[in-house]
Structure 1
């Protein structure tokens, strides 16, 4: 983590405290601010955004991946937007700098979402300098080097056969059916689950039965708390889905394609809780409606109704070592049980 000295409203001095790695000033040495444009040694490297509301927050988000540095200041909410921006900046090529005015805020921002920001920008005041020295030393001691997070957005995903360890009643709750504007093929479905570390492949309702017709545009996805993998590689809670959202369809061989949600059908239904273990020895589960028409993919060319499942059966799933924050993959030590 870097610490910058904020000279935007105070005259620069000849010597600054050793805690500072650089400076931010208006048209001066170090990082230079001209309007909202951030430059370094004459080269444009970033954007400055004062976040006052959701509109300016989204303006800041729109710069992620396009600039080397995103520098933000806040007039109201701070910690939640910072956590969200840290998650979105990870593996994007954009570093996040935050203007801090209160010594008590320094440590929280230095370790927000465990990872912290890339730069804290403070005025050359004694209490702020002392807080930055402590936070900077702690970051150097405690923050591990993490591998870059790999984006899930690609044409194919690795699917692994997990082993079901338990099947039990999941009570009654709101069941969501996700109805698409395109047809689902045999062997296709959506990746859904209660934990981001392992999502199960839930098959589309493409199989006819003697009691109900097929619904080849539908996935019976389960309750509102479950994650579902979207077309952009992020996850959403099922309760967050809207008509028009683009979702990812996955085949039993791991091939993916994009589909658009036409509507959501929500009804009270009984659930089964199906659990399995993934590659990271973490127990994972999915809640699915207790109905013969709801099926999981057990392997290539193998589909089983949830009412026919038994302990020891296979379930096709996509595993990840990363946690999720507002749908983004982040390398933090979150645990979902």
Structure 2
């Protein structure tokens, strides 16, 4: 796949939509799906020009009239090479459709993704190795790879294979609503956050309590961590354990985050308490420049430790607080990604933070009176 090929496409399969074909078609058009696929030209006739009308040839021969389709998918073994067909049918775009069931069909799929503008592939076995092989074969090729799936859960797996997935997903919907769910998976974007520079106003020992180490399923960067705070309106950036420690090995998947009642971001829109996180949860990893990505939590370690309270103020005057383990190796990030040992912080030091700007109720932003002291 070419680096110039950007944006993952949403396709909807109408071939087995049955009695709710019209409903799912209208839903997909409303959501601005990239393409709708049918095996009957009549099912494409009423679609607006905002969507690509794709005809998947079902029989052994091509229909005489292909004028109602913007793209025609053929089986190269039965119908011939798409490039040759395009030469004999001026004005018609052709692509390949391949069912991968064995080594021979896998080799065919690898051949087609290197040659055709579009290759739509269905994988029949419950392993993702064939998809990995196809994506590797398509690397650097100018065409697009679209994979067929039977559900949104399968689509969410496909898009993460080899960290990038296919260029598009063709969903066979189980009913109305599935198209909406697909867009939530394929068009999900983790936005950059506008971090602010906070000024430390005080550091104090506050006795002992339970703190949480958040162990993720990802290798975190040296300027990456999670945002944590005692108040939902202001969070500080706690860094990952990717920096050398004198008495123990590094844990590049971990953030020693803070007291269990602290807030963190489960996504750019929703906060979570640290004590709510568990294996399989999602937490937002944040870099010093504000870039974010969702990462999966592998476990949360809650243990009793001495605690340290760090008070800070934002340029806006917003007062923030973070309670974290009272130990030198627990660190936060400063401007430019500077790593700061928490026990060495003093008034006047600068740390990075984020101001969500609204109160929270069960993690969701809400406009209501709420004082957090």
Please report the TM-score for the alignment, with normalisation by the length of structure 1: 0.53
Alignment pair present for 1:220 and 2:250: no
Aligned length: 185
In structure 2, stretches of 5+ residues that fail to align are 1-188
Deviation track 1:27-46 (CA, whole Å, cap 9, x = no partner) reads xxxxxxxxxxxxxxxxxxxx
1:174 to 199, 205, 210: 210
Deviation track 1:262-314 (CA, whole Å, cap 9, x = no partner) reads 01111110011000112442321000101121100011131101011111000
Match of 1:264 in 2: 300
1 CA distance for matches of 2:246 and 2:213? 21
1 CA distance for matches of 2:268 and 2:202? 32
Call closer, same or farther: CA 1:160–1:169 in 2, change over 3 Å. same
Match of 1:201 in 2: 237
Match of 2:283 in 1: 247
Alignment pair present for 1:285 and 2:321: yes
Please report the TM-score for the alignment, with normalisation by the length of structure 2: 0.48
2 CA distance for matches of 1:263 and 1:273? 24
Q: How far did residue 321 of structure 1 move?
A: 2.4
Deviation track 1:82-118 (CA, whole Å, cap 9, x = no partner) reads xxxxxxxxxxxxxxxxxxxxxxxxxxxxxxxxxxxxx
Match of 1:295 in 2: 331
2 CA distance for matches of 1:304 and 1:282? 22
Match of 1:306 in 2: 342
Larger Rg: 2
Deviation track 1:26-83 (CA, whole Å, cap 9, x = no partner) reads xxxxxxxxxxxxxxxxxxxxxxxxxxxxxxxxxxxxxxxxxxxxxxxxxxxxxxxxxx
Alignment pair present for 1:330 and 2:330: no
SS at structure 2 position matched to 1:228: strand
Larger % of strand: which?
A: 1
Q: How far did residue 213 of structure 1 move?
A: 1.0
2:225 to 189, 192, 199: 189
Alignment of 1:16-27 (within 5 A): none
Q: How far did residue 239 of structure 1 move?
A: 1.1
SS at structure 1 position matched to 2:334: strand
Larger % of helix: which?
A: 2
8 Å CA contact 1:176–1:264 kept in 2: the answer is: yes
8 Å CA contact 2:190–2:293 kept in 1: the answer is: no
CA RMSD of aligned residues (A): 1.3
8 Å CA contact 2:217–2:298 kept in 1: the answer is: yes
1 CA distance for matches of 2:233 and 2:369? 12
8 Å CA contact 1:279–1:319 kept in 2: the answer is: no
SS at structure 2 position matched to 1:171: strand
Moved over 6 A (4+): none
8 Å CA contact 2:225–2:239 kept in 1: the answer is: yes
8 Å CA contact 1:280–1:321 kept in 2: the answer is: no
